[in-house]
């Protein structure tokens, strides 16, 4: 087990290393000009912009810029932008072109809301999709099964941003059943935190739970047709134990794998959810940075999002190895 954990951690570090190189390269060689973003024309002359590029060390080789950027995350660094000098403490992801503040100070409080929305929606997906899929599998071929499959196909055909927008307009604005906007920190009030995020969790979770209902149904049908299930029933085990102890454990393994892959998509899906419900999350800040060409913020949010996605996949892989020991052997 220890060897499996070490291998997964090493591979996660290598993937994050590759992502960081790609992000820095895009920042350096991309179409956007950092000097023009910090001091656009005609406010700044070409000579002033050249001075800013030199101060930012943009004329240095890519490996030098990468080493400086990554060392700044660990130890901090001093950033010169023309006549201004910024003492950027670790973790230093640069200085915002628009607000002229440490990027980490700008975005660190936004990670919590994004992770809160994604985790709550993920729990909703599993709590809704898996039981519905099990229900349909145990009634395979009946009207109940056909109704469930038809409903999931209808829900999945609706774009998630439209589904979330309709939920907001009808349930929050129209009927007033949920708060329209706002976010409360979990440490300040767990109840207000959960109440403010309940509708975003339900909207984002329900629209994604439809495919998990179908995945679970197919996986459960396959598991229920295995010889060991017939043997367990022949031994006189209770149907509940056969379903939840034997069949579900085998059927849930591919669901966990798919969920680990989809969690990254779920994180990106929070962008529109944060925009609609005015949640001050990482996705909303990244969207604002794109519109403002605030490249350090875009770079930092990309790296942090990649780190969150890679970490979640490592956790899922470890959980997967607990469910199926053959993964550790392989």
The pLDDT, as a whole number, for residue 76 is 85
Per-residue pLDDT of the chain (330 residues; tens, 9 = 90+): 677 778 878 888 898 899 888 888 887 776 666 777 667 767 777 777 777 777 667 777 888 888 888 888 888 888 776 567 778 888 888 888 778 888 898 888 888 888 898 889 989 998 999 899 888 888 888 898 889 888 888 888 888 888 888 889 998 888 888 887 778 888 888 899 999 899 999 988 888 888 889 888 888 888 888 888 888 888 888 877 888 777 887 788 788 878 877 877 777 667 888 888 888 888 888 888 887 778 888 888 888 888 888 887 788 777 766 766 655 555
Please report the pLDDT score of residue 138 as a whole number.
84
The secondary structure of residue 280, as a DSSP letter, is -
SS3 at position 81: strand
Q: Tokens in use for 315?
A: 């956790």
Residue 232: the pLDDT is 82
Which pLDDT score is estimated for 124?
92
* Chain position carrying tokens 């590759």: 18
**Nearest-angstrom CA–CA distance, 48 and 86:** 18
For residue 258, the model assigns a pLDDT of 82
| Cα-to-chain-centroid distance, residue 223 | 30
pLDDT at 275: 85
Measured between alpha carbons, how far is 178 from 199 in angstroms, rounded to an integer?
A: 7
Architecture of the domain delimited by 108-329: Orthogonal Bundle (1.10)
Domains of the chain, by residue range, sit at 32-92, 108-329
Q: According to the model, what pLDDT value does residue 189 have?
A: 86
77: closest CA among 62, 97, 57? 57
Can you give the pLDDT at residue 198? 92
C-alpha 289/C-alpha 306 separation (Å) is 17
Task: Give how far the C-alpha of residue 328 lies from the chain's centroid of Cα atoms, to the nearest Å.
Answer: 26
What stretches of 30-141 show up as alpha helix (H) in DSSP?
34-38, 46-55, 62-75, 103-138
Q: How far apart are the first and last CA of the chain?
A: 11
The rounded distance, in Å, linking the Cα atoms of 114 and 281 is 5
| 129 closest CA partner among 197, 217, 243, 198 | 217
**What pLDDT is stored for residue 7 in this prediction?**
82
Which pLDDT score, from 0 to 100, does residue 127 have? 92
Q: From the centroid of its chain, how far is CA 86?
A: 31
Compute the radius of gyration of the chain from its Cα atoms. Answer: 24
Task: Please state the φ and ψ torsions of residue 97, each to the nearest 5 degrees.
Answer: -65, -30
For 269, counting Cβ atoms within 10 Å of its Cβ (0-12 exposed, 13-18 middle, 19+ buried), the class is buried
Bridge partners of 85? 80
> For residue 211, what are its two tokens?
């495919």
């Amino acid at each position: 087990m220890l060897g499996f954990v070490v291998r997964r951690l090493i591979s996660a570090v290598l993937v994050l290393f590759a992502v960081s190189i790609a992000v820095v390269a895009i920042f350096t060689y991309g179409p956007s000009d950092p000097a023009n973003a910090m001091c656009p024309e005609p406010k700044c002359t070409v000579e002033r912009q050249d001075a800013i590029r030199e101060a930012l060390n943009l004329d240095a080789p890519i490996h030098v810029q990468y080493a400086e950027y990554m060392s700044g995350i660990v130890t901090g660094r001093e950033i010169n932008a023309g006549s201004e000098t910024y003492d950027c403490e670790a973790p230093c992801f640069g200085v915002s072109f628009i607000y002229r503040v440490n990027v980490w100070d700008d975005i660190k409080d936004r990670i919590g809301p994004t992770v809160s929305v994604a985790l709550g929606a993920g729990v909703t997906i599993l709590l809704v999709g898996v039981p519905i899929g099990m229900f349909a599998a145990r009634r395979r071929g009946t009207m109940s099964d056909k109704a469930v499959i038809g409903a999931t196909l209808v829900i999945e055909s609706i774009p998630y941003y439209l589904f979330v927008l309709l939920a907001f307009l009808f349930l929050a604005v129209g009927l007033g059943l949920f708060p329209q906007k706002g976010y409360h920190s979990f440490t300040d009030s767990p109840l207000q935190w959960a109440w403010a995020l309940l509708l975003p969790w339900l909207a984002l979770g329900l629209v994604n739970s439809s495919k998990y209902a179908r995945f679970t149904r197919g996986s459960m049908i396959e598991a229920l047709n295995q010889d060991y299930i017939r043997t367990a029933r022949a031994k006189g085990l209770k149907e509940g134990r056969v379903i939840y102890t034997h069949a579900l454990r085998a059927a849930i393994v591919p669901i966990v794998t798919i969920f680990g892959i989809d969690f990254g998509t779920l994180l990106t899906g929070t962008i529109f959810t944060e925009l609609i419900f005015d949640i001050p999350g990482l996705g909303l800040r990244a969207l604002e940075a794109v519109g403002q060409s605030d490249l350090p913020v875009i770079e930092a949010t990309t790296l942090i999002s990649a780190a969150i996605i890679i970490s979640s996949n490592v956790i899922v892989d470890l959980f997967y190895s607990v469910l199926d020991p053959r993964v550790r052997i392989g």
